[in-house]
Structure 1
Amino acid sequence: MTTTTAPTLMQQGQGWFSKAENWLDARGKGAWIAAMVLGFIFFWPLGLALLAYMIWSKRMFNGSCKSRRHSPTFNSSGNSAFDAYKADTLKRLEEEQGAFEAFLQRLRDAKDKSEFDAFMEDRAKNAKSDDSAEA
Structure 2
Amino acid sequence: MNTALHYSAPHTPPMSWLSRAEAWLDAKGKGAWIAAMVLGFIFVWPLGLALLAYMIWSKRMFGKSCRNRSMTRHGISAMSSSGNTAFDNYKADTLRRLEEEQHNFESFLQRLREARDKAEFDEFMADRARAAAAPRNAEDTTGQDSDKA
Classify the TM-score, shorter chain. Answer: 0.5 to 0.7
**Residue type at the aligned position of 2:31:** R
Which fold has the larger relative contact order, with Cα–Cα distance below 8 Å and residues 6 or more apart in sequence?
A: 2
Cα deviation for residue 26 of structure 1 reads 4.7
Per the alignment, residue 55 of structure 2 pairs with: 54
Cα deviation for residue 47 of structure 1 reads 6.5
SS across alignment from 1:98: helix
Structure with greater proportional helix content: 2
TM-score by length of 1: 0.55
> Identity percentage over the alignment?
49
Q: How many residues align?
A: 103
Runs of at least 4 residues of structure 1 off by over 6 A? 46-49
- 8 Å contact kept, 1:77–1:83: yes
Q: CA RMSD in A?
A: 3.9
Decide whether aligned partners of structure 1 residues 79 and 126 sit closer, same or farther in structure 2, where only a CA change above 3 A counts: same
Instruction: State how 1:76-95 maps to structure 2 within 5 Å.
Output: 76-95=81-100
**Residue type at the aligned position of 1:94:** E
- Give the Cα separation in 2 of the matches to 1:119 and 1:129: 15
Question: Which of 96, 101, 104 pairs up with 1:96?
Answer: 101
Instruction: State how 1:9-20 maps to structure 2 within 5 Å.
Output: none
- Give the Cα separation in 2 of the matches to 1:48 and 1:129: 70
TM-score by length of 2: 0.51
Question: Which of 26, 29, 52 pairs up with 1:25?
Answer: 29
Per the alignment, residue 106 of structure 1 pairs with: 111
**Residue type at the aligned position of 1:129:** A
**Residue type at the aligned position of 2:29:** D
Gaps of 5+ in 1: 1-12
Gaps of 5+ in 2: 1-15, 141-149
- 8 Å contact kept, 1:55–1:61: no
**Residue type at the aligned position of 2:131:** N
Per the alignment, residue 146 of structure 2 pairs with: none
- Give the Cα separation in 1 of the matches to 2:32 and 2:114: 39
